[in-house]
Structure 1
Amino acid sequence: CDMCAAAFDGSGCELECDAQETCGNNGRCTPEGTCECFEGFTGEGCLRCAEGYTGSECARECSAEDSCNGNGRCTDGGCECFEGFAGDSCDMCINGLSGSECDISCDAETTCSDHGRCTEDGQCACFPGFTGASCDECDADKVGGAECGL
C-alpha cells in the first residue's frame, strides 16, 4: 500500500501537513507538505483573503471601486483606505481633513476655535452664539466671554 496516513505526505510519508491545522481549513496539503489554498484564500496557512475577495469566509468578491468607494483597495476581508480616507468602506475623511478627496485641511478645534464644525469645503459652520470665519466672535445679540452666551 503506497498511501500515507492522514496528515502525512511525501515519498516516504515524512512530510506532515494537516489541512485543518496547517492550511486553516482553507486549502489542501500538497505532496510537498505545503498548502494549496482554495479560491479566495492566500498566504502562509491560507489565512488571508486573496486580492479581490473579502468577508470572514473570503467568499465575497471585493471591488475597490464598489466596496471601497474608489478610495482604497481590497485586502484581508475589508478595505485598506488610501491616505486621508477612513471608515470600513473608505467613505469618510480622517480627522482634520474634509472634501470629496479628503484633501482639505480643517481641524474644528483649531480652525473653528472649537466653536464650530468643519464643512465639506473646509469652512467653519459655527455653533449657536458664535460667528466669523473661525467662529471666534460672538453673534451680535450675544456678549462677552468665551461662551458667547451671556
Structure 2
Amino acid sequence: MLWCPPLLLSALCWVLFIYQTSVTADECAERCDLYHGHCDEDGVCRCDPGWDGPFCEDCVKMPGCVHGVCHQPWQCMCLSDWAGKFCDKDLHICERSNPCQNGAECVITPEGDYSCNCPESFHGKNCELKRGPCEIEGFPCQNGGTCQDNGGYAETFTCRCLAGYVGRLCETDVDDCLMRPCANGATCIDGVNRFSCECPHGFQGRFCTVNIDDCAGQPCHNGGRCYDRVGDYECYCPGGFTGKSCEILVPRPTWEYETGTSPLDRVPSVPPTRTVSSTRGTVGSTEKPGHFKISVKEVVTQREHGLSKLQLITIAVLGVITVLVIILTVLLVVRHRNRGASCWCQRSSPDTKTHYHQCQGTSQEHKKTTEL
C-alpha cells in the first residue's frame, strides 16, 4: 500500500469535484427544457410555474382532475368514457352499476352526469324516497318539528318536536312556569323551553333565591353596626346618634345628672358655664348672652333620655321646698324693714322724750329677738 501525503490527496479531491461539476452542468444544459426552466449554478434544472419533472418536461394538471391529462399547465382533458369538469363522471355508469332504485330509468345527461326517471310515488336523486304521508300532507309539523313517516312507507306521519313544544303537530308551547320555579314571590315569564324570573326588590339570581346584601355598601355612619334585612337594612347606632343610617347627631341635654347609688341620689346639676334663667316667650323678646330657655319640648326630651318618674317627683319636692324658703325669707326681711321704718317716724316727732322711750323700747325688743 502506497502512502500518499495529505497535500496530494487534497489536490486530487479538488480535481474530482471540478470534473463532476463540469459534467453535471453540461448534462443539465443538454437535457433541461430551457423553454420551461433553467439551470442554476449547481447544474440543477429549475422549473417554471406550471411545469414539473427532473428536466421540466411534465405539465401540471388542474387541481382535482381525476381521469384527465394536460398538454399545457392547469388543463384537465378527460380520458375515454369519462366526462365532467374534473373528468370524474362515468359515461357508462348506467350499464356498469345502475344507481336508480325502485325500477327507475337511468339516463346520461349531456354534462356527463346521470338522472333517474322515478315511477309514481317515488322521488329523490336515485328514486329512493317514497311519497308518503308527510309529503302528501305538506309536511304539517310546526315550530321546527320534523315529520317522520318511515321513508314514506308508514301509514301515518308523526312529528318529532323541538324541546319546549308538544302536541300532534308540535303546536303547543310547554308552560315552563307550571312548576313555579321562581321563589320569594317573583314573577315567572314563560319562554320557548325556558323561563325567566322577575325578582322582587331585595332578591336576585336565576330563581330569585339570593338575598341581596344591603349592608355591602356600608350605609351605616358614625360607627353604626349594619344588619341585613329583606330588601332593607337596619342600623344599630352608638350613643349620641340616631336616624336610619345613624346620620343624626342627638343634641346634648340641657342639664346633666350625677349618678348615685340609687335613683333618689341622682341630683340635677347645672353646668357652671351656663346661667339658667326662665324667660317668658314673647314675640319680640331677645336672649342675653349666657342665658337660655328651658322649653316643654326640651324637658320632654330630657325625660325620654333618662329621667324617671321618681326623679321628677324628687325635683318637684325640692322645688317646692326652695320656693317656701324663699317666701319665708322675704317675709322676715319685710317685717324687719317695717320695724325700722316705725322707729324712724317716731324720731321725727316733736316730743323728744316720748321719742327716746319708744326707740329705746324698740331697740331693746329687737335686741331680745336677736339674742333669741
**TM surpasses 0.5:** no
TM-score, normalised to structure 1, is 0.40
TM-score, normalised to structure 2, is 0.20
Based on CA coordinates, which of the two structures has the bigger radius of gyration?
Answer: 2
